[in-house]
Structure formats: structure tokens, C-alpha cells
Amino acid sequence: MAFKLASSPHLNTSAQTKSVMLKVMLCAVPGVLAQCYFFGWGAIIQLMLAIAVAMAAEAAVLTSRKRQVWPTLSDNSAALTGLLIGVAVPALAPWWITTIGAIFAIVVVKHLYGGLGNNIFNPAMSAYVMLLISFPLQMTTWVAPTGAALNDVSLLSSLQIIFQGASSQEILAYRAGFDGVSMATPLDAIKTSLSTGLTIDEALTLPSFSDGFGVGWAWINVAYLLGGLMMLKLKVIRWHISIGILGSLFVCAGVGYLLSPDTHTGPLLHLFSGATMLAAFFIATDPVTAATSPRGRLIFGALIGVLVYVIRSFGGYPDAFAFAVLLANLCAPFIDYYVKPRAYGHRSSH
């Protein structure tokens, strides 16, 4: 009987890979719907564009490598990568931002390393970091969410802005929130307020925090949390990484808030703003780039949570999950080496 060597993810059949990826995408539906509700047609367009480009890029690479296209394309891994890029990109970002990100994720991060199971970095987060560093203006221009916007963006306007471009005045009009104040993501608003000398309590009086967490963002995180719990229920993922992230982030934020409440936000705001729940359940749990043993996954998740808190609190970027995940990806082999299970009856030696 032949013993077959194969790369992660270690699933029994290729059909299971397809099923797992599909379940992840279906469980992401509540969060995606919430994001589309609060950020309008642009979020839907970016999502569809990212998935289409990711699958097209996958097909092109497979063709150039003289491999069968459909068996690999139907495993849904490219579609899931496109979905994660689509929800990470601002709703009215130019079409070429999403296109470059999806192509970079599939061609460079995934296939230049050998394809699914061989990449050492999360493709979607690698693409996000590349876009954020290369095009910071486009990647930080978010429209005001529904419920805070003075000007809702129609489907036709969204298509025109994404594919034909828009003037700075038009973008500013769609970013305007309560009383005409320009809206930013909650974490970005807090970091900007602190840099101008305001305290946390003063920052939380801004229009973007009318519900206490940042208009729309708390509901988006709750929706992704529900999707994550669905994945746990279906045993698509295990709990270790998610609990490691949320637990360490909660503890770090709690300690920081107790030590300096004027300059550090409380743990609940950290948990229900930015990309916290999306990353904790749908990104960091990628079986290819994460640690593998139960204890290793807890350490992997805890490391991400600590890195997120440090970068959010002391770094130059308001949200930090993409950077934290990539740094943890680098540490995953090291973690696996030092926490590998010990064979019964043998002493561990490193």
C-alpha cells in the first residue's frame, strides 16, 4: 500500500476541500450582507469583481502551467481569496485596486509558491498589505455608512465612481456624515483624535461614535461573529486560534485601559471594530498558513491578538490584522517545531 505525501490542508479527499471552502463562504454571508447594507452597492461590486478576477487569474496560471483548470478552480479556494479581498477593500475604491490585489494574491502569493497548500503567507492579507502600502489614499477612503451618511450612493453612481473615477469633491461628499463631518473608520478616527491631543472620552463624542462603537462597524463584527460560530458548529474550523486572538486582545486592551483610560480604548471597542471578527474566524484560521497542533494554534492566535493591540495602540496604522497575521505566518513553523506533540513514552528534545 503506497504512502502518499501531500501538502496541507490535510483533508481526506479533494471533494472535502471544495466543501470546506464553500462552507466558509456561506458562513461569511451574514457579515458580507451587513457590510453591503452599511456601505452600499460599492461593497457588492467590489466583492463580485474580486471573486471574478481571482478565479480568472487562477485559470490563467493553471493554463500556463499546463494543468487542468476546472478540478483546481472548483475547489473554491480562489473564490474564497477573492471574497476576503473584496470585503477588505473600501467600497468605492477604483476597480484597478481590487484587480491588482486579486491578481497579486493568486499569482504571486499562492502560485509562485506552488499553489494551494504550499504558500507560507495568507494570500488575501498579503494582497491587502501590498495595496495599503502602495496605495494608502485609495485604501483608506471609506464612505460614510448607512445611518450616518448625508449622501447615499446609488448603484449607478457606485459603478461610475469605481470604473470611471470620481473627483475629490465627489468622494468627500460621499464620505460626509452627520453635520457634514467627514467620516473615517472608528479606529482611524480614534488614532487621529489622539494625535491632536484629544482623550479617548473626547474622541468617542465624535459623530462616528453615535452608537458607542462606530456606526455600522459593531453590527458588521457581530454578523461575522455569528458566521464564525456557525463554522465552529459545523466543525469547519477549531476554536483555538479564534479564542487565542480574542482572548489576548481582550486582556491586552483591558490592561491598557486600566493603566491609561485617556489614551487607550476599552476591550469591547477593540473586539467590535475594524476587522476583528472577520480576521479571528475567517482569515487567521487558514489551515495552510497557521500553526497545526492545538497548543500551537492557541499560541498562534494569542500572538496575533498581542500584535494587533500593539500596532493599533502604538503603530502608525489604525487596524493591524493583516500585518499581525502575516507576522504570525512567519512564526507558524517555529511554533509547530517547539510545541509538536510528544510521542508516548518518549522525552521531548529540541
Residue 247 lies in a domain: no
Percent of the chain at pLDDT exceeding 90: 49
Count structural domains, the chain: 1
Residue 104 lies in a domain: yes
User: Counting beta carbons within 10 angstroms of the beta carbon of residue 196, is it exposed (0 to 12), middle (13 to 18) or buried (19 or more)?
Assistant: exposed
pLDDT at 201 over 60: yes
pLDDT at 119 over 50: yes
CA distance 191 to 103: 31
Give buried/exposed letters for 3-20 (b at 16+ CB in 10 A, else e).
Answer: eeeeeebeeeeeeebbeb
Lowest mean pLDDT of 90-104, 206-220, 316-330, name the range.
206-220
- Quick one: pLDDT band at residue 177, thresholds 50, 70, 90? very low
Residue 173 lies in a domain: yes
> How many CB atoms lie under 10 A from the CB of residue 71?
11
Residue 156 lies in a domain: yes
Residue 299 lies in a domain: no
Residue 18's pLDDT is 86
The pLDDT mean for the chain works out to 84
pLDDT at 113 over 90: no
Q: Is 3 or 166 the better-scoring residue by pLDDT?
A: 166
Residue 101 lies in a domain: yes
| Per-residue model confidence as pLDDT tens digits over 79-92 | 999 999 999 999 88
- Domain with 133, as residue range(s), is 18-179
- Cell representation of residue 161: 465612481
Residue 147, phi-psi category: left (phi > 0), alpha (psi -120 to 50), beta (remainder): left
